[in-house]
Amino acid sequence: DVKVTQSSRYLVKRTGEKVFLECVQDMDHENMFWYRQDPGLGLRLIYFSYDVKMKEKGDIPEGYSVSREKKERFSLILESASTNQTSMYLCASSLIGRDSGSPLHFGNGTRLTVT
């Protein structure tokens, strides 16, 4: 079974801090994703990566950056945390599907609070 592990379940940071959210998957998946989940808004895609050192912006990349130095690890970075980045962050991975048929496997999420 695929396992996607997010390093922290809960995180509290102060405004202006640099924040790192780490995600590791153990099934050699090419694609990795970072989403944030907010009530009433569903999951919104921040960034995704389809290969080592490759990254693409999602729908809400502002205020975030990512790093993928190894295939199994995808990090989300908040350069200077702000209160409007308080949210649940979900990491996911998937195979590159021949016909887009590979489902996402999710981590358990990191609930980040910025005060």
Applying CB under 8 A, which residues contact another protein? Answer: 31, 33, 35, 40-45, 48, 50, 56, 58-59, 88, 90, 92, 94-97, 99-106, 108-109
Token representation of residue 104: 């996402």
**Strands (DSSP E) found in the chain:** 4-6, 10-13, 19-21, 23-25, 31-38, 42-49, 56-57, 64-70, 73-78, 87-94, 105-106, 110-114
Q: How far is the CB of 42 from another protein (least distance, A)?
A: 4
Q: Identify whether the C-beta of residue 109 lies closer than 8 Å to the C-beta of residue 62.
A: no
Q: Which residue, 50 or 71, is less far from another protein as judged by CB?
A: 50
Q: How far is the CB of 3 from another protein (least distance, A)?
A: 12
Q: How far is the CB of 70 from another protein (least distance, A)?
A: 19
Q: How far is the CB of 64 from another protein (least distance, A)?
A: 16
Q: Which residue, 9 or 80, is less far from another protein as judged by CB?
A: 9
Q: Which residue, 23 or 92, is less far from another protein as judged by CB?
A: 92
Please enumerate in sequence order all residues whose Cβ is within 8 A of that of 42, keeping only pairs 6 or more positions apart, or say none.
none
